[in-house]
Amino acid sequence: MKTVHNQSHFEQLRSDYPFFEYQNYRFLEEENAYRLQFNFNLGNKYTFQPETVIPKKSFFKTSVNQDLLHWMAFHIGMVELISYWKLACPPLVIIKPFQLKTEQLSWWKKLYFNGLGEFFYVNDISTSIENFMEIRCDSSKIGLAAEITPQPLTIVPVGGGKDSVVTLELLKKSHKTIVPLIVNPRKASSDTASVAGFSPEATIVINRSIDPLLLQLNSAGFLNGHTPFSALLAFHSAFAALITGAGNIALSNESSASESTVHGENINHQYSKSFEFESDFRFYLNRFIVKGVNYFSFLRPLSELQIAFQFSKLPEYHAVFRSCNAGSKTDSWCGKCPKCLFTFLILSPFLKEKELKAIFGKNLLEDTQLSYTLEELRGKTAAKPFECVGTVEEVELAVRSVVQRYDGIDKPLLINMLMETDAGQIQTDLKIALRHFDPQHFLDESFIKILKDAIGN
């Protein structure tokens, strides 16, 4: 990942735009939808009004605690603001709708700082959690946590990749009552829900729109970079739990998501998918917003390899799933990015070459232009790709499996290159790795049994 030396630009922008305000939010319950609107102000020079619309479905509750919905809507704005704050990184953030406790402000500073770790790294910005932002509240209004009596319903966020497919299918087969949730539907996510047997009416849809001015300012030279989208998904999912009565939100984040992207540093592209954030969010949700909603990652005990193995047994999804960010708008695999190569590699131990070609359109291991990307995935460079990819150990296990597959026969070009170096120098056995169950998770006994039965543990 190339970095841009933006330290002086960062400091100048902070001087030019000394504060950022979360001015207010609006929560509207319309006849056919819930509408959330937010108002942000950058240094009295630019204002932003992003919006979220959630179409009502027949299974939504007819009566919900309005104060609680307002409190949750406000919190969605707390996550939304970071996308606009990072344009100029003002040293002061002013929160006007509610008063927050010191403990809450510390929680938000931690999320913002760690969730922007990649942003600071790629822009070559040096700062600290103590100095990057001060948060003040300009309100006497206090939001109070509530308690709900949940229904035996599990919300499953669906992104269109292999992970949420595995969660959907395992929970379906166990006869759990589930409902998919999709943020800004694209073909892959909609097709995934459809193949799983869920109609649009049976799916929660969240339509989130950013203020167009954000993109204009990015183009004009303001700062840009990665923000913690999965944190936004967490709060949106919790809002969905309130309007449906769901007692569970089952994410599909694996144990691999907790590995740092940059070697030796606490910088993780997937921070808001990590176990640390999952733990923090569960605490905050229960302590400050609502008791009775169980947020957890169903696949947390598993690795990317284990999920790939489970996915390989679901051929009905092989033609519809997509994990390539570059090809997300065209519903395609670009075949050139780290995410494409990683997905190809992680499935390689479990699918035949012709099956992989049917998915990706070619054998990515024949493309020597991906040799550096492979080195990044294997941990041979300063940082892994800033993508949602597995651990270095998982990649090495997959590589060794592929090397062994081609023993004695014509090998793809990248495999030939690997065999000339130190490919597969790792001792963990693939069969043992596929039965591993990571103890760091928040699953209750019923979900543990489903997962252990699936992996033969």
Residue 10 sits at the vertex; the CA angle it makes with 9 and 15, to the nearest 5 degrees, is 95
Q: Select the more confidently predicted residue: 370 or 66.
A: 66
Is 267 in contact with 83 (CB distance < 8 Å)?
no
* Distance in angstroms (rounded) separating the CA atoms of residues 111 and 82: 10
In this model, does residue 258 exceed pLDDT 60?
no
In this model, does residue 291 exceed pLDDT 80?
yes
* Residue 131 tokens, joined: 């100095």
State the burial class of residue 426 (Cβ atoms within 10 Å of its Cβ: 0-12, 13-18, 19+): middle
What are the E-state strand segments in 128-173? 134-137, 146-147, 151-157
Over the stretch 182-202, which tens digit does the pLDDT of each residue have?
A: 999 999 999 999 999 999 999
Rounded mean pLDDT, 348-373? 91
Is 252 in contact with 167 (CB distance < 8 Å)?
yes
Rounded mean pLDDT, 122-128? 94
* Distance in angstroms (rounded) separating the CA atoms of residues 431 and 419: 22
Q: Select the more confidently predicted residue: 177 or 411.
A: 177
Q: In percent, how much of the chain has pLDDT > 70?
A: 91
* Residue 43 tokens, joined: 């240094």
* Residue 268 tokens, joined: 């993780």
- Give the per-residue pLDDT at 427: 47
- Give the per-residue pLDDT at 263: 52
The region of weakest confidence among 17-31, 259-273, 313-327, 441-455 is: 259-273
SS3 338: helix
In this model, does residue 4 exceed pLDDT 90?
no
Half-sphere CA count of 209, side-chain side, radius 13 A: 11
380-406 burial code (b ≥16 CB/10 A, e <16): eeebbbbbbbbbbbbbbbbbbbbbeee
What sign has the CA pseudo-torsion 239, 189, 323, 214? Answer: negative
Query: Domain limits of the chain?
Result: 7-297, 304-436
Over the stretch 321-333, which tens digit does the pLDDT of each residue have?
A: 998 888 778 889 9
In this model, does residue 428 exceed pLDDT 70?
no
- Give the per-residue pLDDT at 425: 46
